[in-house]
A and B are shown apart, each in its own frame.
Chain A
Amino acid sequence: MDNKTGAMDKNWGGAIGPVRLIVDTLMVIRTLITRNPAAPLASRGLHTFSLPNLPYDYGDLEPAISAEIMQLHHQKHHQAYITNYNKALDQIQAAADAPTVVKLQSAIKFNGGGHVNHSIFWTNLAPVRAGGGEPPRGPLRWAIDNNFGSFEALIQKMSAEGAAVQGSGWVDPLVSKGASLVPLLGIDVWEHAYYLQYQNVRPDYLENIWKVVNWKYAS
Chain B
Amino acid sequence: MSLFNCISNQCPLGSNFGSSNKLGSFGAVPQLGGAQRRDKSRNSRSITAYYGLKSPPYKLDALEPYMSQKTLEVHWGVHHRGYVEALNKHLAKKDVLYGYTMDELIKVTYSNGNPWPEFNSAAQVWNHDFFWESMQPGGGEMPTLGLLQQIEKDFGSFINFREKFVEAAITSFGSCWVWLVLKREKRCLAIVKTSNAINPLVWNDIPITGLDVWEHAYYLDFKNDRAKYINTFMDHLISWEAAAARMARAQSFVNLGEPKIPVA
Chain A residues proximal to chain B, CB less than 8 Å: 72, 76-77, 80, 106, 110, 166-169, 190-192, 195-196, 199-200
Contact = CB atoms under 8 A, between A and B. Distances in A.
B197 interface: yes
B175 A77 contact: no
B216 to A, nearest CB: 5
A200 B82 contact: yes
B78 A199 contact: yes
Interface in B70-126: 74, 78-79, 82, 120
14 contacts: A110-B173, A167-B175, A167-B214, A168-B174, A168-B175, A169-B174, A191-B214, A192-B215, A195-B220, A196-B223, A200-B74, A200-B79, A200-B82, A200-B216
A167 B219 contact: no
Given A167-B174, A167-B195, A191-B175, 15 more contacts: A72-B223, A72-B224, A76-B223, A106-B173, A166-B120, A166-B196, A167-B196, A168-B175, A169-B174, A191-B216, A195-B219, A199-B74, A200-B78, A200-B82, A200-B216
Nearest to B224: A76
Contacts of A110: 173
Nearest to A192: B215
A191 B223 contact: no
A160 to B, nearest CB: 15
Contacts of A169: 174
Interface of B: 74, 78-79, 82, 120, 173-175, 195-197, 214-216, 219-220, 223-224
A166 B175 CA distance: 9
Contacts of A166: 120, 175, 196-197
A168 B215 contact: yes
A196 B175 contact: no
B80 to A, nearest CB: 10
A76 B222 CA distance: 12
A121 to B, nearest CB: 16
A192 B196 contact: no
Nearest to B217: A191
A191 B220 CA distance: 11
A106 B74 CA distance: 32
A110 B176 CA distance: 15
A196 B219 CA distance: 7
A199 B216 CA distance: 8
Contacts of B174: 167-169, 190
B245 to A, nearest CB: 30
Contacts of B197: 166-167
Nearest to A114: B173
B193 to A, nearest CB: 12
Nearest to B223: A72
A80 B74 CA distance: 27
B257 to A, nearest CB: 35
A80 B224 CA distance: 10
